[in-house]
Each structure stands twice: as C-alpha cells, then as structure tokens.
Amino acid sequence: MAFRRLWSDRVLPYIDLVMSFAGFLRRHTLWVGLVAVLLPLVVLLALQYRWLVKLDHTSAKAHEATLDNYLEAVGSEVEFHYSGMAERVLDLPAPIFTQHKLEKAAHYFKKKGSEEAGARRLFVVSFAEGEEESEYPRFFDPSCASLTLPKWTPEVQAISVAIAPWRMMSHKGVAVETVSPKVDERDPEHRLLLYPITDESSKVVGLAGMVLDESHFADVLLPKIVKKALPKFFQDGEEDPIVAVWDRKGRKVFVSDWEKKGKMEVKKAIPFVFTDWKIGLASRHATAAQVARRNFAVNIGLSAVLAAVLLGGILLALQTASRQMKLSQMKSDFVSNVSHELRTPLASIRVFGELLRLGRVESPDKAREYGEYIETESRRLTQLINNLLDFASIESGRKSYRFERACIEDVVSETLKTFGVRLRQNGFRITYEGPEAALPAVYFDPAAVAQSLSNLLDNAVKYSNGSKEIAVGLRREGSWAVIWVRDQGIGIPKDEQAKIFERFHRVGTGLVHDVKGSGLGLSIVQHIVQAHRGRVAVESRPGEGSTFSIHLPIDPPDASPAGVFATSEA
C-alpha cells in the first residue's frame, strides 16, 4: 500500500515529466537538433574569438620582442667589435711604460694595429715617472712607425680630459681589479677608447688608447653587423625590416635599404660606443600592430566563413531531414488514404452484389440501379488504380504516351458520359460548354487526356462542399485547346495553389481534412499535360470554388505521325 502511494506520489510525476520531455523532443526534433548544433558552435566561436584576441596581443608583443632583441644583438656586436679591437691593439706590455722605453709602443702598434681602420688615431701615455710633461699623450705616426709629441689641439684636449682620472688613480696607487676597455665620449668629435695598462700589483702605469673613426663606423662596420645579424632574427628575406642609424644630430647616417620606406617601429640608443646615436627598425610592409591586426582579421574571417559553411551545411541537412520527415508523413497518409479509397467502393460493390445474389431485388429497375452502382464504383476503383499505376510508372521513368491525331471534343464528351452516372447518383448537375467553332483534330493521347479530365472531375465532386453545380467546357485560345472544369466547392487558398500539383500534397486546412484522397491526382494531371507540351492552371478562391484548365497545343512543335513523342521525366 505504502509502496503504491510512494510510487504514485513520488515516482509517477517524474516519469510523466520525462515522457513529456521525450515527446517534446520527438515533436521538435529539427529545432532541438538545430539548437544542439548551434549552441556548441556559438560557444566555439566565442572561445575562438577570445583566443584570437589573446593571440593577436601576444603575437604583436612577440614581434616587438624580436625587433628589440635584434637591436640588442646589433648593440652587442658593436661592443664586441670595439672591445675586441681594444684588447688586440691596445693591450701593451706594462714594462715599456717608462720615459725611455715608451717609444717601443710604436713598434707594437705597427705590429698589430696600425692597419686597424676603425681607429683614427692611436696614442699612449705613461704615468710611470710621475712628472707632468712626461705624462703628455704621444701619438702613433704610422707613416714612420714612431711616436710623436703632438701640439695642443682639441683632440689632445679631449685625450687629456679623458686620461686625467687615470693619472690620479696612478698617482694615488689605486689598484685596478679588472682591466677592460673604457669609452670616453665627452667630446663627441673625439670619441675615445682607453685601455689601462697595469703592472703586476694592478696599479695603472699608463694608458693606450684610440680616437674612433666615425665614418668607418657608419660606412663599414654598421652595414657589416646589420647584415650579419638580420638572418638570425628574420628568416624570410622578403620580410626583413629596414635598419636605420641616426647620428647625434639626428642625421640619417645609415639605412639598410635606401629605396624602401617603412614605418619606424623601434628606436634605441646604441650601447657602449656612439651612445648618442640611435638605431631603429622599420617594417617593410606593415608594423607589428598592423600585422597582428591583419592576422586577427584573417583568422576571424576564416572562422566566420567556416562557421557559415558549417551552418549552411547543417541547415541543408536539417532541411533535407525535415523534407524527408514530411515525405514519410505524406507517404503514411497516402497509404491510409488509398486503403480508405479502396475500401469504400469495394464495400458498396460487395453489398450490392450480395443483394443481387440473395435475390432481394424485386424490380428490374432496382436491379439496373444496383448494377449501375456496381459499375460506377468499379470505374472509380479502376481510376484509382490507374492513377497508382501511372504514378509508379512516372516515378520510375517508364511512363509513355500514345499520341494520335483525334477529336478532342469526342474525348471530353465520352469522359463526361462515363462520369455522368456517378454524378447523377450523387445529385450533381453538370453543364457542358462546347467550342464556338469545331476544333481541328489535335495531336494527343486520348486515354491520358481522358484520365486528366476524370481526375479534375473527381476533385470537383470530392471538394464540392455540398454545391452540386459543376461546369465543364472546351474552347480554343489561339493555338491552344483548353479543357476546363469549374466547381463551386471549398476552393483553394492562394499559397496552396502551386503546391497542390506536387505529389502527395494535400491542402491541410479546412474541410479538406474530411475528404479522403491519395494526393496523386493533380500531380498526374500535370505530368500528362507537360508531356503534351501544355500546361495546367488553377483559379480559385476559398469558399467560392475553383476552375482548373488544361491547355493543350493544337499542333505541338515536335508532333510526329509515329505516335509517341513524350515519355515521362520522373
């Protein structure tokens, strides 16, 4: 008992909920499918967008970092070059730094440095004697490989200012821990590279130095270093940035590619020497930010195109699925409608047949009437089966027509005669309007055209909605023979009028629900008429009735006496 109550109170509502949810899913499969696909797609796109924004940011930063690193590498190369040169040329032995032996410095300079193009001048100064005049700088004269005592010039002044602190250190006996080349650029016209010479107790005994050659730096050294460093940072030669160097007055002294103009992205001071000069990089095509923006636009564009293609594909698939579902629904309706259409005339035939067999029909008139019923119903069955067979042959592409030159009016009146019995039985009144003048013989398939007309008449009866007036006519319109059927039945809404000629299509609203049908009649009419190079048209208003007209060319352009000119194109 308790279990049953628990079951009905607690469990059943959940089961109901699950069932109704499952029902909802089944009813709205397409929408659920669309949402199930769209939702992850939107999330994916949003994530992609975020990721791209981040990538955009970091790639711009990475690009800038590459440019920075490149400039640093150029700076290091410059330092490496000058330090190396100083150590190679200026590192002279300490014992020669005395008044008498200093002349030997010329010999050393000649041996290892006189050909150094980076130096405008080499000089030495000795602090060993501790006397003012012997501590005057001596210039190396490469022409006679000797030292000379220069006159007082701005150059000598620059050197004297630069060596003053060293002289002081020497006099005070300050020990120098590490010996390395020093730069003095206080006079930009005379940039100096000094190398302290120390004795075994690390005390400065003198200085060897050089005055740097500006034009050699700009014209020879920079191009070499820039060219050497570029491939290490920029693999693609096309994308190489343009390198430019400005001197302290802001004049451009070097550009790696004079012909190209670019947007300057990074500008830095040169470290170590020429520190008041600037080196800069310009991108050949676009700046880092522009490249990143372009990449971002390309990526987001690609993603959008991809998403659109994906969405298009999904929509197409969903549309196909929806069409298939509709078609399968139509097919199952078709099966139930056809079975119903078969069953009704069969039931009448069976009842009238039984009555006749049991001898329950007394008067010959009644027997004739029942016979007519049986004949009419059999004709209906035949028409239905003909439609089905025609549909099958149209679908499989095997439908063929037997054309002949015949009188179309005969075919119309013959069909009306055959239909007349049924119409009369059902209380219909049928009127016929013939052509004003007799029509010439038309080239057509009489059986097929009769079947089309029967289908139209059958519909006029089925969708009559109680109005028993049907009008049929035949007229000539130029080179066309027009057969028309007018009823005063339920009519067809405007938006349905083109669709009713599609196979299985049945108007889904209003009274038509109560009328059984296969949904094939009009599609067969259209196929037959098109095979005759003609057309079928409908004029209709809901509630007021419909007029269907079949237009057949009196002389089709490809009419041949052989008899067959059109077969089905299913």
Kindly list the residues in this chain that would bind ligand ADP in the complex (CB under 6 A): 455, 459-460, 462-463, 487, 489-492, 500, 505-507, 512, 517-523, 546
* Token pair 């821990």 in the structure block, residue: 177
Read off the amino acid at residue 83.
S
Residue nearest to ligand ADP (CB): 517
Could you tell me the smallest distance in angstroms from the CB atom of residue 399 to ligand ADP?
16
**Nearest to ligand ADP of 287, 337 (CB atom):** 337
**Nearest to ligand ADP of 198, 454 (CB atom):** 454
**Nearest to ligand ADP of 306, 388 (CB atom):** 388
Could you tell me the smallest distance in angstroms from the CB atom of residue 542 to ligand ADP?
9
Nearest to residue 155, comparing CAs of 209, 98, 90, 219? Answer: 209
Q: Please state the φ and ψ torsions of residue 498, each to the nearest 5 degrees.
A: -80, -30
Could you tell me the smallest distance in angstroms from the CB atom of residue 506 to ligand ADP?
3
Could you tell me the smallest distance in angstroms from the CB atom of residue 354 to ligand ADP?
29
Could you tell me the smallest distance in angstroms from the CB atom of residue 312 to ligand ADP?
33
**Nearest to ligand ADP of 525, 554 (CB atom):** 525
**Nearest to ligand ADP of 482, 522 (CB atom):** 522
**Nearest to ligand ADP of 283, 546 (CB atom):** 546
Read off the amino acid at residue 160.
S
Nearest to residue 136, comparing CAs of 119, 146, 148, 154? Answer: 148
Could you tell me the smallest distance in angstroms from the CB atom of residue 300 to ligand ADP?
50
Could you tell me the smallest distance in angstroms from the CB atom of residue 322 to ligand ADP?
21
Read off the amino acid at residue 55.
L
Q: Please state the φ and ψ torsions of residue 368, each to the nearest 5 degrees.
A: -65, -45
- CB-side exposure of 367: number of CA atoms within 13 Å? 9
**Nearest to ligand ADP of 284, 535 (CB atom):** 535
DSSP code, position 438: P
DSSP 286-313: --HHHHHHHHHHHHHHHHHHHHHHHHHH
Nearest to residue 461, comparing CAs of 410, 515, 526, 518? Answer: 515
**Nearest to ligand ADP of 198, 459 (CB atom):** 459
Question: Is 273:83 a contact under the CB 8 Å cutoff?
Answer: no
Between CA 280 and CA 438 the distance in angstroms is 99
Q: How many CB atoms lie under 10 A from the CB of residue 276?
A: 13
Could you tell me the smallest distance in angstroms from the CB atom of residue 486 to ligand ADP?
9
Between CA 58 and CA 300 the distance in angstroms is 16
Question: Is 495:509 a contact under the CB 8 Å cutoff?
Answer: no
**Nearest to ligand ADP of 376, 546 (CB atom):** 546
**Nearest to ligand ADP of 518, 549 (CB atom):** 518
Could you tell me the smallest distance in angstroms from the CB atom of residue 27 to ligand ADP?
24
Nearest to residue 522, comparing CAs of 428, 570, 457, 444? Answer: 457
First-to-last alpha carbon distance for the chain, in angstroms, is 65
Could you tell me the smallest distance in angstroms from the CB atom of residue 512 to ligand ADP?
4
Could you tell me the smallest distance in angstroms from the CB atom of residue 15 to ligand ADP?
40
Interior/surface letters 414-440, b for 16+ CB within 10 angstroms, e for the rest: ebbebbeebbeeeebebeeeeeeeebe
**Nearest to ligand ADP of 193, 507 (CB atom):** 507
Name the E strands within 127-262. Answer: 138-141, 146-148, 182-184, 192-198, 204-212, 242-246, 252-255
DSSP code, position 174: P
Q: Please state the φ and ψ torsions of residue 75, each to the nearest 5 degrees.
A: -60, -45
